Structure 1
Amino acid sequence: MWCINEINTEYRKRMYRLLKLYSENYNPKYPIICFDEKHKQLIDDTKPRIPMKLGTPEKYDYTYKRNGTANIFVAVDFKGGKRDIMVTDRRTKADFAHYIKHLVDDVFPDAKKLRIVMDNLNTHTYSSILETFEFKEAVELISKLEFHYTPIHASWLNIAEIEINVMDIECTGGRMKNKNYLISETTAWCDERNKKESKIYWNFTKEKADKKLSKYYI
């Protein structure tokens, strides 16, 4: 938000739409799912770590070796206290489409429609689903979806960024030596958050937006 220069009509329209969506009462049949991705370098130690002791933190050498990269899909039902994480090699259109299908079929199977908030990455489209699955399957999947996009350069309006920030602080901020280790760590972290039904409380309203940002409106 700090880098906002001008807020045009389209920005305001999308912002207001999201803020209205966020203000709705929770409905598990029509959950609001905030979705984003996290690129992660896989880094391993080159020397053994010195384990922590009472009063002394763990120590590790500054040198490291690279083991490639991975992508982390993150989806959070912030009102219901439920999230899902999937680690993939890439984030192509097909990866996106298969993950969305996973959300519909496996994570929220009882929902009538998923209202998914995301940024404007070129893979985040209904066409990605149409290009990945057979037409009948794609159309059926799309009928259970409703995509909502943040304004351009306004990822701060995507609550998934808050969830990813918590994940970085509590789980993925350190070195992840390989994909399997990353999967193990993020799965354990996600399961614990879901067990606690950890929620995110969004208090930024249209009225607060107008008061705080109106000097940038054009």
Structure 2
Amino acid sequence: MNLTSEQAAELRTLAADRHVTADVALRARIVLWAGEGRRRKDIAELAGVSARTVDRTRARYAENGVAGLVERKRGGGKDQVPPRTRGRVIALTRMTPPPDSGLSHWSTRTPAAYLKRTEGIKVSFHYVARIWREENLKPHRSGTFKLSKDPAFAEKVADIVGLYLDPPGGAVVLSVDGKTQVQALDRTQPVLPVTFAATEKRTHDYVRHGTTNLFAALNIATGEVVGECKPNRNGDTFLAFLKKAVKPQAGKEIHIVLDNLSTHTTPDVKAWLEENPHVHFHFTPVGSSWLNQIELWFGIITRQSIRRGTFSSVHVLVKQIRDYINSWNANAKPFVWTATAGDILAKVRLVQTAVRKLLNNNAN
């Protein structure tokens, strides 16, 4: 089971919350242990439950996030919450968090806190979790669609998807980005168990040996990847990698898909582009990194090679990344992109229409 840093933080908070039951806290720890890559039988032994309970807990989290771990009340009446409040929770969940919230996505606690702060509406995170279950809302899923606030969203989508589906004849399309702060983490032997509530929690010693920054360029026609690790990520290191990525494509028109980081538009980068008119940048819409195919590859290398690896130094981590890239290129295949710009924009319109209807209904 793979967990993002935000998901792991939310689960740790739940496991340590004095206001939740021991069963809920234990379920949170089971998911955390699964996210660490522990075996099913080891988790069952640590938690003092059956292997079937471990599977059920993981499935509940995969289906509904933290909402799936919260107790389901049996019998009795429902909380007396006004219908408008329920509607506000649903509408807020289906929207991208407002910029002033500083959030990338909603957790069960953040909508409750946001509604209390901005509208004076008081609900518990248990209530939010129940609504998410009943409405089958899953904002924790990385695949949840995010609305971009980029005013040129439609034009950028059409531009980039056009490159994917029908690249210019004879041209090369590269998907470029960097994965920052890849951590060299040494997982040592388990330490002595620590008593936690009614269970024993065995943990690992984690020794951190530093980080590296992985730059990568995916050739969308062949699936081959050019990658390089750098100690930092700035305009100079990006430009150095860019020169390396385009070098094998000498004499061709090169189209590069990348995001809106300031390191991609430094004066030196702009000067280099002027000196190399055969290289063209295509920027993804703001908040829409999912449109960049290299993000798919970053997800694959993280799951298959980095996340559960043990690295005694940054040098060992870098070697692992290089070996993985060489192995990938030995049998490289391109990703199959099927969604047209029209498909994506139609989905955006549907989501926007649904949100507007919910907001209008709740205002009346």
TM-score scaled by length of structure 2? 0.50
Highest CA radius of gyration, 1 or 2? 2
* Amino acid corresponding to residue 81 of structure 1 in structure 2: G
Aligned: 1:123 with 2:263: yes
Cα distance between partner residues in 2 of 1:150 and 1:138: 18
Q: Which of 160, 164, 167 is equivalent to 2:301?
A: 167
Q: CA deviation at 1:197?
A: 2.3
Change (3 A) 1:144 1:2: same
Aligned: 1:202 with 2:344: no
Give unpaired runs (5+ residues) of structure 2: 1-142, 191-202, 354-364
Change (3 A) 1:46 1:128: farther
SS at match of 1:123: helix
Cα distance between partner residues in 2 of 1:172 and 1:111: 35
SS at match of 2:256: strand
Q: Which of 350, 353, 358 is equivalent to 1:215?
A: 350
Q: Which of 281, 297, 300 is equivalent to 1:147?
A: 281
Give unpaired runs (5+ residues) of structure 1: 49-60
SS at match of 2:343: helix
Q: CA deviation at 1:196?
A: 0.8
CA RMSD of aligned residues (A): 2.6
Aligned 8 A contact 1:31 1:111 in 2:
no
* Amino acid corresponding to residue 166 of structure 1 in structure 2: I
Cα distance between partner residues in 2 of 1:64 and 1:100: 34
- Sequence identity percentage: 22
Cα distance between partner residues in 2 of 1:11 and 1:94: 28
* Amino acid corresponding to residue 113 of structure 1 in structure 2: E
Task: Please list the CA deviations of residues 62-115 of structure 1 after superposition, one character each: whole Å capped at 9, or x if unmatched.
Answer: 11111121100011012212111111101111000100011122xx24452321
Aligned: 1:72 with 2:214: yes
Aligned 8 A contact 2:172 2:249 in 1:
no
Q: Which of 274, 283, 292 is equivalent to 1:158?
A: 292
Aligned equivalent of 1:186: 321
SS at match of 1:63: strand
Aligned 8 A contact 1:38 1:164 in 2:
yes
Cα distance between partner residues in 2 of 1:82 and 1:151: 25
* Amino acid corresponding to residue 197 of structure 1 in structure 2: A
Cα distance between partner residues in 1 of 2:260 and 2:306: 24
Cα distance between partner residues in 2 of 1:216 and 1:195: 41
Cα distance between partner residues in 2 of 1:69 and 1:147: 28
Q: Which of 178, 182, 201 is equivalent to 1:37?
A: 178
* Amino acid corresponding to residue 257 of structure 2 in structure 1: V
Aligned: 1:14 with 2:156: yes
Cα distance between partner residues in 1 of 2:311 and 2:286: 31
Aligned 8 A contact 1:4 1:216 in 2:
no
Aligned equivalent of 2:246: 104
- More relative contact order in 1 or in 2 (CA 8 Å, sep 6+)? 1
Aligned 8 A contact 1:8 1:217 in 2:
no
Cα distance between partner residues in 1 of 2:242 and 2:206: 35
TM-score scaled by length of structure 1? 0.80
Change (3 A) 1:201 1:210: same
Aligned: 1:86 with 2:228: yes
Q: CA deviation at 1:144?
A: 3.4
Change (3 A) 1:206 1:109: closer
SS at match of 1:120: coil
Cα distance between partner residues in 1 of 2:338 and 2:167: 13
Structure with the bigger percentage of helix: 2
Structure with the bigger percentage of strand: 1
SS at match of 1:68: strand
Deviates further, 18-27 or 70-79: 18-27
